[in-house]
Structure 1
Amino acid sequence: MRLAAPPPDNEPAGHLNVFLGALRNNGQVCGTDWPIVMDNGCCVATVLAPAADSLDERYHGTYVRKCIAEARQVGITFACSPIGPACDCADACACANPSAYVLFTTFLTLESPVRCMDCFGPVPLYPFTARPNADFHDVISWQSDYQSCDHLQMNCTVLERAATRQMSVIDSALAAAGRACCARLSELAGKPFYYYLYRDKGRSAAREAQRRCPACDGPWHLPATLHGCFDLRCDNCRLLSNLAFNLRRPNDDSR
């Protein structure tokens, strides 16, 4: 992404950061790792986009358009050019009409937190936009909070138990925020949105086999693992989970 050279008394990097933040909240760029460098009098940032056409003007939301208009008033324009596909990201969903979606991320995930339930490929957020003056700040905030918790529980040093609880328990603040995101996205998409409850440790395989949906207490064991991640699914409550990782088979590398 390239920012044209502005008048000398402006701060192009500041405008570019604001613009990138608006794009992120609209689901048009992923993450916050966008180093900015000077190149031939222009500020240039390299960003990860969900798809090759994600930065097209047709996907711009209200706040993105506002940033563009404000930058133009001080002589700044933005230009975008693709570099190539990312080597360490999952392939984007190519399904014409997904049956459902799942809100899913990890501390390693760079892509959109929305996944297709059919192919499990990442799905950009911006196609779900249906309300004026709205973006996806709530979904992006949830993803950032979830990844922070996942970092803590993977590091196993500070706040491991508290972070794991946020990811695992249905009445945690993190789960409540995520399920609220699912409800809004489901309304926009007209499709079911599932929420994933992480399961780290269990006491025994027998107890894991007896686990029931934490929301309705109904049965939710799947006959086979779905997408290498999910062993449990409640269609009534739109919840997904896994059998405890400490009790999985040795060759199970889904995490």
Structure 2
Amino acid sequence: MHVVELRFECFDNTTITAAEKTINGLLEAYRANGQVLGREFAVAFKDGEFRVRLLMPEKSSLAKRFNSPWVERALCELTDAKLLAPREKYIGQDINSEVSSSETPSWQLVYTSYVHMCSPVRNGDTLQPIPLYQLPATYNGDHKRIIRWQTEWQACDELQMAAATKAEFAALEELTSTSSDLFRRGWDLRGRIEYLTKIPTYYYLYRVGGDNLTSEKARPCPRCGNKDWLLDEALLDMFHFRCDKCRIVSNISWDHL
């Protein structure tokens, strides 16, 4: 991933309120399209201009060819706030994040965790994140729905990892059950992505618990009952199960690995 600084210069008198609303609207449009990552953006005012540093999947993430209709609209609204189009200053590659996928995958999967800021759509051959703006818009011109799903998944993951309240059990149910609302929305989004990209797309179903390793290996696909979804070798050293009918990958319970 890469870090860039955007600078917004005023061309006429404006107000902090007007500039704040317009700049934040643009940043949210970029985020909804997967062009910038993260949830919070610190916008500073100095020497007559507004500055913000952003984390992006690729060096070219803010190129016009990737803009959604909502990004284009937000850019036009800068004029109403008496702001010029942003100037980009490339800072460099982020050393603490993953490299985005640049190859067309033979398969892909929907996968995230509470420690990941990157795209929840991964290259199935390498597990590298695929920038969302490289995919056809999933709904209403951008990727807001899958980003919202990712935020919900990460919230549940953080609750169950903390293991400090009764909310842990409700969060685990959302992450591990094929009857949960979180699974249903994520699995439907997975299907939408597969339909648009024509690339087999799987959903990662988190797994903890279970009695022992033997019973874990014998458990069937929780959605269709397929008993032959255990793989001879784990995919990407992580996924021990794959059901091609249900488009689900899963792991042997982390409690028994």
Q: Per the shorter chain, which TM-score range?
A: over 0.9
Are 2:210 and 1:205 aligned? no
Are 2:70 and 1:63 aligned? yes
Distance 1:14 1:214 in 2: 46
Opposite residue 227 of structure 1, the aligned amino acid is: L
Helix, strand or coil: the match of 1:83? strand
Distance 2:241 2:162 in 1: 26
TM-score (structure 2 length as normaliser): 0.91
> What do the CA deviations read for 1:21-72 (whole angstroms, capped 9, x no partner)?
0001111111213211123221111111111101001100100001011112
Residue 129 of structure 1 corresponds to 136
Distance 2:188 2:138 in 1: 16
Give the deviation of 1:203 after TM superposition.
1.2
Aligned positions of 1:218-229 closer than 5 A? 218=226, 219-229=228-238
User: 1:110 aligned to 91, 113, 117, which one?
Assistant: 117
Distance 2:155 2:148 in 1: 11
Helix, strand or coil: the match of 1:13? helix
Residue 13 of structure 2 corresponds to 8
Give the deviation of 1:131 after TM superposition.
7.5
Contact 2:14 2:81 survives alignment (8 Å)? no
Distance 2:247 2:109 in 1: 9
In structure 2, relative to structure 1, the CA distance for the partners of 1:13 and 1:179 (3 Å cut) is same
Contact 1:100 1:116 survives alignment (8 Å)? yes
Give the deviation of 1:228 after TM superposition.
2.4
Helix, strand or coil: the match of 1:149? helix
Opposite residue 10 of structure 2, the aligned amino acid is: A
Helix, strand or coil: the match of 1:196? strand
Q: What CA RMSD, in Å, does the superposition of the two structures yield over aligned residues?
A: 1.5
- Runs of 5+ consecutive residues of structure 1 not aligned to the other structure: 249-255
Helix, strand or coil: the match of 1:110? coil
Opposite residue 121 of structure 1, the aligned amino acid is: Q
Residue 231 of structure 1 corresponds to 240
- Percent identity, please: 31
Distance 1:207 1:89 in 2: 36
Task: Report 1 or 2 for greater relative contact order, CA contacts < 8 Å, sequence distance ≥ 6.
Answer: 2
Q: Which structure has greater strand proportion?
A: 2
Are 2:20 and 1:20 aligned? no
Distance 1:78 1:21 in 2: 15
In structure 2, relative to structure 1, the CA distance for the partners of 1:225 and 1:148 (3 Å cut) is same
Residue 3 of structure 2 corresponds to none
> What do the CA deviations read for 1:134-181 (whole angstroms, capped 9, x no partner)?
111110000000010011011112310110110101110000110111
Helix, strand or coil: the match of 1:15? helix
